[in-house]
Structures are given as C-alpha cells and as structure tokens.
Structure 1
Amino acid sequence: MTEPGGRRVAIGIDESDFAEQAFDFYANNMRKEDDYVILIHTPERYNVMDASATVLREILEEVRKKVKALEEKYKKKMEEKGIESGKFITRRGDPGEAIVHVAEKEQCDLIITGSRGMGMLRRTILGSVSDYVLHHSPCPVLICKPEVHKK
C-alpha cells in the first residue's frame, strides 16, 4: 500500500470485538483520504517452558495461522472502508509497550485503541493496555469504549 503525506494513525488490534469497534469508529468517523493506517498486533503469549519440541512447533503454527487470519480480516475491512494506505505490523511482547514503540518508530500522529472496560480492581491487578498506551504515548490517544447496546 502507498504511503501518502497525511496523518499516520496507529490502531491496536487483536481478535476481540473491542479492537474491531475501535477500527470501525476510526473508519466511520475520523478517517481522512490521505491517512496512513498502521495496524499493530501483539500475538497472545503462551507458557512454553515445559513444552516439547513438537508441542512448541504446534503452538507456533497456531500463532502463525491466527496472525495471518487477523491480517486478512483487517485487510478486507480496510478495502471495504476505502482505506488504501497502510500496513499491518506484528510485534511480540506486551501489547501496550508494542503499540507505543511502533507509534514512536512510525512517527504516528494518533493512536486508537479499544477498551475492554475492566473495573478498577481488575485493571489494577492485571494492568490495562489502553491505560499504558494513554500514559506512555508519544502522541494523542483515542480510547474507544465498548459499544452500549440500546434497549
């Protein structure tokens, strides 16, 4: 995909509905024709300390398939939304740190991420990707809250 001179927008994605809602919010409400969209994904981590070589190969193949499927899904979504410029980056490690690192390296103008809507106690114990990104980002951050279904 081409790389025009417009805004560089980083969007954190994974297999969740929250990430898809954040992408859709951007595409439906904020997208500009000359934006360059950088989709950032951090694959799920597995504890492989006691795994045999066979199990390790199976896990790595599963991760590869999941990443490829996610990349294809978002490539299709970008085409459907008329987004012509962008790329997909997979980075290992902590998702929040990965998003911030890629946004810095790619000189992004904006980061968009979903929010799982965890409560205060759970967020304190587990941490929060959106909270990390918000406090460490080199640029403005938009956190998309989960959609609330109307009754």
Structure 2
Amino acid sequence: MYKNILLATDGSENARRAAGEAAGFAREGSSHVTMVHIKNSPPSQSRMVKANFDVHSILEEDAKSEIKNTIDIFEKEGLPYTLKVAIGDPAAEIFEIAAKEQADLIIIGSRGLGAIKGVFLGSVSQKVAQHAPCPVLIVK
C-alpha cells in the first residue's frame, strides 16, 4: 500500500473525484495525504501589503477557500492530511513537493483541456504522468 500520497488539487470537479480516490487509500491503510494547491501567479500587491507580505498565509487562505470541498472530505472522516501551497508552474511544483514529501503515489484529476489548447499548452496531469518520480493516478 502507499504510505505518502500527494493529491494535486485545484478544486475542479475532476480534482474532487481525485480527492475521493485519495481518501479511499487513506481509509484502507495508514496512508498520509499531502494536498497540493498551486497558483500560477502571486497575490496582488494590495493583498500582500494587507498581510504584511506573508505570501504563504495568503496562499493558504486562498487554497482553503478554493478546495474547501476536498478538505471537507478528509476532515469529516478524520483522515490525516497536510496542505502545501506554492506559486509557479503546477507540474514543476508538484514534482518538487513529491520529492520533498517522498510521495509513493501522485493522484491528480484530468483537466480535459480542449484539443487545440491541449496541443499548445499540454495539461498538468499529462506532464505529471510523463515526468513524475513515482506512479501517477489520473482521475476523470
């Protein structure tokens, strides 16, 4: 069984289904889930000033709001999890956090980009599946 699961989530419907899978692993064994929420850009300057430039607290606040349904799945059942937040390229940040946390499995929702957009940008789940340091479960 997997001990350290990294759940990459953005609050989308596919990400919520991925959270259900991660919760299932946590229920079955002694798995710990690290939820990862990545922003592409930093918070506005006015928000940073209000938070005394504590960017991490702003990112956590945003994550807790945007992935509330995912967090609720774990809290209602008393399942262990940790929340990690970051700014940057989502795939690169997922790889970095997976390495630091020694993840045995990454669970991520498929994003379902349109055909043209997907050709030019690629999806985060596709990049993660191709370059991850451990097995990846992509949930539709």
Of the three residues 12, 17, 22, the one matched with 1:16 is: 12
Cα deviation digits, residues 66-124 of structure 1 (max 9, x gap): 223246544332022341x2200001111111111111111110000001122443212
Normalization by structure 2: what TM-score? 0.78
Whether contact under 8 Å (2:9, 2:67) holds in the other structure is no
Count of paired positions: 135
* 1:23 CA displacement: 0.5
* 1:134 CA displacement: 0.6
More helix per residue = 2
Deviates more, 1:122-131 or 1:70-79: 70-79
SS at match of 1:91: strand
Question: 2: distance between equivalents of 1:130 and 1:87?
Answer: 21
Whether contact under 8 Å (2:109, 2:139) holds in the other structure is yes
Matches within 5 A, 1:69-148: 69-70=65-66, 73-83=69-79, 85-145=80-140
Cα deviation digits, residues 7-55 of structure 1 (max 9, x gap): 1000001121121111113324x3333001010110242697xxxx547
Whether contact under 8 Å (1:71, 1:88) holds in the other structure is no
The 1:73/1:104 distance shift into structure 2, 3 A limit, reads: same
Normalization by structure 1: what TM-score? 0.73
